[in-house]
A and B are shown apart, each in its own frame.
Chain A
């Protein structure tokens, strides 16, 4: 249908606008969302839908998520915002112990599937320890919730609307560095992108590269570098949904190429790449030509001044790729 040029935060606003319009029980809440949010994701919603549907909460993440679970359980759609993913930890107990297990423990009598939690995620260049974290690995360990990370405005709108409609509690991480940087033509009408489906951005025959969020753009660049300098054809996959993740697409791709590189900003040990790596070696052991490479952040807290050296940039990925090719 009709499209409009939007950046990431505008596409989020558009998605929330569609959700609030379609579902009369939907409410959006969080810290500072009323005036538009610190990243402008909720601009104009309060004026359009009223202050009983778009409202601020006091400074209490545990309270926000607990409150959201309560709303969701009664049947209304709750869209909670946590101001930065780094602040989600006071709410960790509520998400893991309450939201994720509600359906299971009540034998499907109750559920909080109407809950969606949104949080800005990932490094931003100057965030330092508490404005740059990528906590998807912590939540990947928790059955019962879904974790989704878009890479662009077009993906974000579709995935967010899917999360809101999905009958399971979802956490939607938005790469904050792309809020203004990524601009695309996005349809104004609502549309959904299926969850738990990875997308193959570029097909290839020599190496499979998997990433999500901002890092997808990095590996796309690495793929073109590899083609140019090494004549290596890469298959680039955006995982999109971290939990439950699309094992089939990734394994099929590795069975074809024989080499896998996974990249994310979060620290290496226990990062989600370890889960992908384990599963792939189980499924595709005999197809592998080289050890699976994981290009991730170092096992330190996210640094202040050392950030450019910490993040897995294209050179580190390229080097890992080269070593795999020459294995």
Chain B
């Protein structure tokens, strides 16, 4: 048997929950002979078992092919069946259903994609029209977007069961915006958004269980259950704001602090197409441009301000031009790579001290404005279906990855299953965690040392305000 084939066998396979399947040799990922074999058959895609780009293999440290040659026990306890190692290997590959990734050599490590050109306002040049995405990035974006999608659908379910009450504004359909943005900024940058905040809360680092617990008002929530859907916070994420448009001047203030402290951080102030008509936004544009604040104003235009379509609410629907004296870009918000490239461009622009920018992300939300809004009285079901079938961000990413051999359908399905499980566990936590204790009713009103008594109908219960 030629050396190449022998070495293919000794490559590493990762398995899913496929206990009981026999004859699955394991090895390390990049024994030196493997790399040689990989270089020999370097075409992408193609036949089963052939190798793709080799650079992934190169990055993983080599742990020695000696392990295999001594016939050491496979890690997950599966024995290679007698006689199947050599001859029938290729047949096994074909007949086996790999639920996890096949060997890394099967996939490309990165691919280049064409993205839509951004419309520019007062800018000489904008972000490029191609984007490079590596396999790891792709899988990470996919997992994050899928997690947000499933989390929002779970919130929908919990709301209908009346476990979540109050107001719940869901973000599904717009996942590419927060994922793309987060991919291009640093954790030390600052983000503030309006009430449709669950997506950003997740990408800024709050685990799903804390988000769901906050929705159900339990003490495990990220704001200890006292804020609810619209008021979620974490480090460098300033919420979650209920009053429309009120968060944008706050964002400019954060940008001023960034500039003042000189740590090369930027602030992103997000708002929607409805809020774009609020007076405070224009006041903020003026201040930011005047003082050259490192603030990026991002309008997530999902075409409807609650129930009013943009044509009926705005004299000019070119939201990226509304900053007038502030340069702007209009970005396809359903394509995570387009958002990422635009955000990279914008972040660099701001960090270099050129002042603020306005970015309009053209996106769409599948749910209504909030859970009390069916979402079909001001738009047709056909429209929602059309967007879902043609421009769904997760499907777009999935197709790109599969068609360019960055991942297999099974691998992505595996991620789906893992995400579902995580959401289920989080929902379980959110429904069983206890509510915050009643004493907390009066907490955190002010900042003061001696706790004072909260005035109220103080016949029975006296609440102390502790901070």
Contact = CB atoms under 8 A, between A and B. Distances in A.
A63 interface: yes
B378 A316 contact: no
Interface in A46-79: 56, 58-60, 62-63
B226 A304 contact: yes
Given A58-B314, A300-B442, A305 B217 contact: yes
A131 B231 CA distance: 13
Nearest to B228: A304
Interface stretch (A122-130, A174-182, A190-198): A122-130
A63 B278 CA distance: 8
A306 B305 contact: no
B463 A58 contact: no
Contact of A130 (B243, B377, B440, B463): B243
Interface string A274-301: 0000000000000000000011111111
Contacts of B456: 267-268, 296-299
A299 B280 CA distance: 28
Contacts of B87: none
Given A35-B377, A126-B166, A300 B279 contact: no
B interface secondary structure, majority: loop
Contacts of A316: 457, 459-460
Interface of A: 31-32, 35, 56, 58-60, 62-63, 86-87, 89-90, 125-131, 267-269, 294-301, 303-306, 309-310, 312, 316-317, 319-320, 323
Contact of B227 (A56, A295, A304, A317): A304
Ranked nearest first, the 4 interchain pairs of A and B with the lowest CB-CB distance are A298-B456, A305-B217, A130-B242, A58-B277
Contacts of A303: 226, 441
Contacts of A56: 308, 312-313
B166 A304 contact: yes
Contacts of A89: 243
A274 to B, nearest CB: 11
A156 B64 CA distance: 83
Nearest to B313: A58
B226 A299 contact: no
Contacts of B378: 35
Nearest to A310: B441
B31 to A, nearest CB: 57
B459 A268 contact: no
Contacts of A126: 165-167
Given A128-B230, A304-B227, A320 B313 contact: no
Contacts of B457: 268, 294-296, 298, 312, 316-317, 320
B226 A305 contact: yes
15 contacts: A56-B308, A56-B313, A58-B305, A58-B314, A89-B243, A126-B165, A128-B167, A267-B455, A268-B456, A268-B457, A300-B465, A303-B441, A305-B217, A310-B441, A320-B459
Contacts of A317: 457
B225 interface: yes
B431 to A, nearest CB: 14
Interface string B268-280: 0000001101111
